[in-house]
């Protein structure tokens, strides 16, 4: 994955992690180049969220190392690290007592930006995710649709312009039409901001739609990793089941046409 010669933004080096007696990761290794979008696909319980939490040091590995910007996570100040890694989750988790503008301003405020800079940044981000800043900035989260809330979630994660973006099943709760729309939107945004994105999902279609690289997680190790076209042709028995729904769908579509 380091073929372009760019520096690795995030590296997992033989990481083991157990939840109680239950091993989740057993010798997991991975390197993600700055500016790439990596989608990790796996079944529920495969340890996808654990990988994200190891990156922003909500969890630390039992053995092995996770390096962010070439520094092991346990040597980072956890709060500083998390402010450099925007987080988007399926439930969005917007603060209901704050306006949309205040939600987006959360991390910039934590970093002590002045009011003018915060306001400019909020306006910029609302425009980036396609919401009118004058209208939406003052609204409350419960006055937005699910798709709009998810866009705000992305804007909030980008708040202080972090180099890394972590996304946990970010668009899983949306209906298929809205999801397709927001996928296009995300590609357009990523084209402009060029973050290092780690996205976990159980939906291979979402992974293909968004990522520059796709990894398949199975039994606590990375089974396959490569460009979408490569993974799509994989014959690996750990990958095929995840591709089945797509093959069936295209078969149905093929018969129709």
Partner 1 sequence: MTVFHFWRTHANEFFTLLGQHVLLVCASTVVAIAVGVPVGILAARRPRIGAPIVWLANVVQTIPSLAMFGFLLPLPFIGGLGARVAIFVLILYALLPIVRTTTAGLRSIDPILIEAGTAMGMTPGQLMRQVELPLALPSIVAGIRVAAVIGVGTATIAAAVGAGGFGEYIFRGLSMVDSTVILAGAIPSALLALTIDGALTLVERGLKDFSRAHRRRLRAAVALVVLIAAATAGVVAVSARRSHDAIRIGSKNFTEQIILGEIVAQTIETRTGLRVERRLNLGGTFICDRAVRSGDIDAYVEYTGTAQTAIFHQQVDTDSRRVLAAVKAQYAGGGLTLLDPLGFENTFAMLIRGDDAGRLGVRTLSQAAAFAPSWRAGFGYEFLQRQDGYPGLARTYGLHFARPPTAMDLSLIYRALMERQVDLIAGDATSGLIDAYGFTMLEDDRHYFPPYDAAVVARSSVLLAHPDVKEALASLSGRIRVADMRRMNRAVDADHRDAADVARDFLRRDR
Contacting residues toward partner 1, per CB under 8 A: 56, 58, 78-83, 87, 89, 91-98, 106-107, 110, 140, 156, 166
44 vs 66: CA distance, rounded Å: 23
Long-range contacts of 4-9 (CB under 8 A, 24+ apart): 4/33, 6/33, 6/34, 6/35, 7/33, 7/34, 7/70, 8/32, 8/33, 8/34, 8/67, 8/70, 9/33, 9/34, 9/35, 9/36, 9/68, 9/69, 9/163, 9/164, 9/196
Minimal distance, residue 105 CB to partner 1, in Å: 11
Shortest Å distance, C-beta 91 to partner 1: 5
Residues paired with 19 in a beta bridge: 22
Query: Which is nearer to partner 1, 83 or 179 (by Cβ)?
Result: 83
Using the minimum distance from each CB to partner 1, give the nearer residue, 37 or 99.
99
Shortest distance, CB of residue 244 to partner 1, whole angstroms?
31
Q: How far is the CB of 170 from partner 1 (least distance, A)?
A: 13
Cβ 53 to partner 1 shortest distance, Å = 8
Closer Cβ to partner 1, 95 or 249, answer by number = 95
SS3 66: strand
**CA dihedral (162, 200, 236, 21) positive or negative:** positive
Nearer to partner 1, 85 or 214 (CB): 85
Task: Identify the three-state secondary structure at position 121.
Answer: helix
Can you tell me the distance from the alpha carbon of 81 to that of 92, in angstroms, rounded to the nearest whole number?
20
Choose between 81 and 209: whose C-beta lies nearer to partner 1: 81
Minimum gap (Å) between residue 131 Cβ and partner 1? 19
Q: Which is nearer to partner 1, 38 or 88 (CB)?
A: 88
CA distances from 116 to 9, 19, 67, 138, 186 (A): 31, 45, 34, 16, 27
């Amino acid at each position: 994955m380091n073929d372009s010669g760019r520096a690795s933004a995030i590296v997992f080096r033989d990481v083991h992690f157990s939840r109680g007696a239950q091993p989740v990761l057993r010798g997991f290794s991975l390197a993600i180049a700055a500016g790439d979008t990596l989608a990790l696909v796996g079944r529920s319980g495969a340890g996808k969220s654990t990988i994200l939490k190891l990156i922003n040091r909500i969890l630390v590995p039992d053995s092995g190392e996770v390096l962010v910007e070439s520094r092991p996570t346990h040597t980072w100040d956890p709060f500083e690290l998390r402010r450099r890694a925007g987080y988007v989750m399926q439930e969005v988790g917007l603060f209901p007592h704050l306006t949309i503008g205040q939600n987006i301003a959360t991390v910039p405020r934590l970093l002590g930006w002045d009011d003018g800079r915060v306001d400019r940044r909020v306006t910029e981000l609302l425009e980036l995710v396609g919401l009118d800043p004058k209208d939406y900035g003052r609204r409350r989260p419960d006055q937005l649709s699910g798709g709009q809330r998810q866009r705000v979630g992305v804007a909030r994660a980008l708040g202080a312009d972090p180099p890394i973006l972590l996304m946990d099943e970010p668009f899983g709760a949306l209906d298929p039409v809205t999801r397709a729309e927001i996928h296009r939107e995300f590609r357009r945004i990523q084209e402009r901001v060029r973050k290092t994105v780690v996205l976990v999902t159980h939906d291979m279609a979402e992974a293909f739609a968004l990522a520059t690289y796709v990894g398949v997680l199975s039994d606590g190790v990375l089974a396959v990793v490569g460009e979408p076209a490569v993974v799509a042709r994989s014959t690996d028995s750990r990958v095929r089941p995840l591709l089945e729904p797509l093959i069936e769908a295209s078969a149905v579509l093929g018969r129709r046409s």
